[in-house]
Amino acid sequence: MKGKVIKSTGSWYQVLELETGKIFEARIRGKFKLIKTRLTNPLAVGDFVEFQLEQDDVAWITKIEPRRNYLIRKSVNLSKEAHIIASNIDLACFIFTLKHPETSLGFLDRFLACCEAYNITPLLLFNKIDVLSEEEIEIVKDMEFLYNEIGYDSLEISSYSKLNLDQLQDILVDKTSVFFGHSGCGKSTLVNALQPGLNLKTSEISDTHLKGKHTTTFAQMHFWDFGGNVIDTPGVREFAMIDIEKEEVQHYFPEIFKKREECKYHNCLHVNEPKCAVLDALETGEIQHSRYSTYIKLMEEADEASLK
């Protein structure tokens, strides 16, 4: 029998049988746990699998189909490297909030680099526009312009005022999407706004630290009435890329990769080499310092990982 993983709690899974649409509680055979991997989880929401039924209609997953793509985060388990958040994604929506909570540009740029690395189309959603002052809205518009210039699509939204939700729905229709962002950025509230009646649990922002409280504790797929589905994920603190050489990192920053052709040396890493077009563009503002800073950090991390 063939199915798709639609919920993962770590030890149990829910699998949607593709032919009938029936949902089964499922487990994995021990052999999957013995596969040598740098990932903490053998299965992720979005995976296509083969399974067989045993007593009490419990499904045992026997095979995982190759993933078209996936996004991963750094694992809190130090003995491993990373945890797959979701797989086989058509569109990855990054929910950016200027405040309540504040989203760092470094976090956004790591997300975009991961999308580039694993061949996933990103969409930037600037959320909670209704709580921003005119000056703050101008800051958001400047950010939109900068990322649009690089080549990324974006949309200003509000789950409460319903700003541009019809337009977002048109983008999401018939796709497998995933919503990412810090805890408290409004992922579950947005899902509820797009799918009334789903009633996902939401929570208020912590007044002490102006950060969101974790309300989604595991990944789960929800289905839109208008067609398609979304994978709701726990708040992610940091994205990761594994098995990446430091020389490859520039491939995942389109504006840097484009400029490399003008560098004097074909193997330029854009750190301190002479006649580097990227460093020149950094000085003129053509390349943003925040983006370049993330590029350097990812190169350093790739270098460190290669030494382990």
The annotation places the binding site at 127-130, 181-189, 263, 268, 270, 276
Alpha-carbon gap, residue 286 to 289, rounded angstroms: 9
Q: Tell me if 15 sits within 8 A of 4, measured CB to CB.
A: yes
Question: What are the backbone angles phi and psi of residue 113, rounded to the nearest 5°?
Answer: -65, -40
Binding site feature residues for GTP: 127-130, 181-189
Binding site for Zn(2+), by residue number, is 263, 268, 270, 276
Residue partners of 253: CB distance under 8 A and separation at least 6:
109, 113, 116, 291, 295
Distance from C-alpha of 140 to C-alpha of 132, rounded to nearest angstrom: 9
79: which 2 tokens? 């003995």
Please report, as a single letter, which amino acid is at residue 273: E
100: amino acid identity, one letter: H
Measured torsion, CA atoms of residues 247, 253, 259, 263, in degrees rounded to the nearest 10: -20
β pairing state of 70-74 and 59-64: unpaired
Helix, strand, coil % (nearest 5) of the chain? 30, 25, 45
**Residue 90 per-residue DSSP state:** S
Quote the DSSP letter at residue 107.
H
HSE-up of residue 152 (Cα within 13 Å, Cβ side) = 30
Count the neighbouring beta carbons within 10 Å of the beta carbon of residue 131: 14
Q: Please give the DSSP secondary-structure letter assigned to residue 206.
A: P
